[in-house]
Structure 1
Amino acid sequence: MRVAAPGSLVSLTFLPNEDVAARIAAASAVRAAGFVPVPHIAARRLASPEELEHYLEALVSRAGVDRVFVIAGDVATIKGPYPDALSVLRSSLLNKYKIAQVGISGYPTGHPKIPDGVLWQAMRDKLAILADMGHRAWIMTQFGFEATAILDWLARSRLEGNNVPVCIGVAGPSSVRSLLHFAALCGVETSAKVVAKYGLSIGKLLGSVGPDAILKDLASGLNVPMHGPTAIHFYPFGGLGSLGRWIEEFRRSSEVEVVSRLSAR
């Protein structure tokens, strides 16, 4: 069973219990396996400019990295001089190590700790500095369950002049218990409407749920001239094996049109 085709992008999160060395090793392993590593740079986890420079140098020299995803990182205590993603982008170190493509975060359903106005302005500022420095930018969104909210956010983003590709975050197949856990951990809203539509019932904790419904809703509502270039980014909360099996089954089914519409570039 093939989880992903050779050459596929593999996002490498910066987990709270891991350090820079672990992320370098993971990126090297992904490259050796025939995939393209996309390491996360979590600004608040970096203790110094020297640590960021060591991280970038090792990613480039050992794993051939030419694209990264820069986030603030949800930690209670900021370890060094980078309080947010914008401060990393302004450091110019990504240019020094010839990082061609840089991803930033998007929050179609908001962030529990950051006002919407601040989120929108941060996205404008990050896209502006990436353009000024000559990086190719893209946006990867937090996962969500409301297709309408995601499409509305995309439409507003495009009206503001943002024309970079957006990877829409979607939770892969998972147990209901795991999905609710990660939704709470990431501050993703699970309203009564969402619970009813996607079966995230407390009474079904031992059951499982897949992304079929939200993908169909996204595909049916997607208007490329309005919503711009999009793709899907899967969060494999149920494990890579489960995600790979689900993807193969989805591709074999009659939903090929859904996949193609959500990969409009």
Structure 2
Amino acid sequence: MSYAAIHPDWDKPRSNMVDGYSLEMTAKEMDGLREAAPLIRPGTQIAVTFLPGEEMDQRVEAAKLVRDLGFEPIVHLSARRLGSEAILDDYLRRITTEAGVKRVFIIAGDPPQAEGPYENSLQIIQTGLLEKHGIEIVGLGGHPEGHPNVSKPDLWVWMEQKIAAVRERGLTPLIVTQFAFDDDAILNWLKEMRERGIDAPVRIGVPGPAGIKRLLGFAKRCGVGASASVMKKYGISLTNLIGSAGPDKLVNSLAAGMNDAEHGRVRLHFYPFGNLKATAEWINKYADKH
């Protein structure tokens, strides 16, 4: 399988763990992106999230800014937050015509009740609107540390169904995981995925450098495991939450334990938690060091 459609260098072996990385931002972080832009590699893929409290216009403007600054926008679609098919159709029309978007990432979203006709990401894929608007790459969620509301067997079933639906429409699937702290859980999940015959390319979610309390707050909100033993591997003590932490230990552990034969070609996706500049600086320092 060729991964070149996902990223131009993805068919080549990694020379560095941060090769071909991607980033995430919210629609409200446009000033942060402008500040960080000189530190980010040209052509880097940057995802624009779909959060409550934002207007569609903000999200479109953020995607346009990503494109204007020389990066590749990936636009999130949160199924349960979409009020109607007309809203989805119009949003796809705007991001593709105004920002040249070719990539989306689809999640079910947090609301317990759907605001419109879509309960899950599979339903978005099945509308036919993605291919109608020229979308080429479809990101799907992965959960190395599990999901608080879905069993592990069901997560695999859902993943297989969504990948099949994406490919049936002539589109390319890409798995992007929730950020995780546990390198063993990540590597075991990748191995099981490949053993199940799931060959889709994967981006592993990695938390960018952030204050320890902030990191653990995001982890709790997202249902990510944060046990004392896992935190110790990540360089964090749960008895001392002062200061900040970077993903050095986690990325080094992944680099040491990962191989293409067992885990497939994998790249990293960074969650900056509101500080794109600090994350870009960390990535550049890591690349220089390794």
Indicate yes or no: 2:195 matched with 1:159.
yes
What is the CA deviation profile of residues 122-166 of structure 1, one whole-angstrom value per residue up to 9, with x for unaligned ones? 101000111111101110001111111111111111111111210
Query: Cα deviations across residues 35-71 of structure 1 (Å, max 9, x unaligned)?
Result: 1110101100000000000000000110000111111
Letter in 2 for 1:62: E
Unpaired runs of 5+ in structure 1? Answer: 256-265
The amino acid of 1:171's aligned partner reads P
Opposite residue 213 of structure 1, the aligned amino acid is K
Relative to the length of structure 1, the TM-score reads 0.93
> How many angstroms apart in 2 are the aligned matches of 1:179 and 1:58?
34
Q: CA RMSD in A?
A: 1.2
Stretch deviating more after TM superposition (237-246 or 196-205):
196-205
Q: Which residue of 2 aligns with 1:195?
A: 231
User: How many Å apart are 1:104 and its aligned residue?
Assistant: 0.3
Cα distance in 1 for residues equivalent to 2:220 and 2:90: 34
* Aligned: 1:94 with 2:130: yes
- Measure, in 1, the Cα distance between the counterparts of 2:274 and 2:257: 27
Please report how far the alpha carbon of residue 203 of structure 1 lies from its aligned counterpart in structure 2 after TM superposition.
4.0
For residues 150 and 232 of structure 1, the distance between their equivalents in structure 2, rounded to whole angstroms, comes to 12
Give distance in 1, aligned partners of 2:256 and 2:237. 25
Per-residue deviation, 1:238 = 5.6
Which residue matches 1:259? none
SS in 2 for 1:148: helix
Q: Which runs of 4+ in 1 moved over 4 A?
A: none
Q: Distance in 1 between matches of 2:174 and 2:120?
A: 17
In the alignment, the residues of structure 1 paired with residue 286 and residue 131 of structure 2 have an alpha-carbon distance, to the nearest angstrom, of 39
1:62–1:11: structure 2 CA closer, same or farther, 3 Å change rule? same
SS at match of 1:182: helix
Query: Is 1:247 aligned with 2:283?
Result: yes
Candidates 204, 207, 211, aligned match of 2:247: 211
| Unmatched segments (≥5 aa) in structure 2 | 1-35
Q: 5 Å matches for 1:37-48?
A: 37-48=73-84
CA contact (8 A) 1:137 1:164 kept: yes
Tell me, yes or no, if the aligned pair for 2:50 and 2:78 is still in contact at 8 Å: yes
How many residues align structurally? 254
> How far does residue 202 in structure 1 lie from its aligned partner after superposition?
4.1
Deviations 1:95-130 (A, max 9, x none): 111111111000011011111122111101000111
- State the 1:244 CA deviation: 1.5
The 2-side partners of 1:72 and 1:30 are apart by 24
Distance in 1, Cα, partners of 2:234 & 2:42: 32
Name the % identity.
43
Aligned partner of 1:58 in structure 2 is 94
Partner of 2:142: 106
CA contact (8 A) 2:231 2:238 kept: no
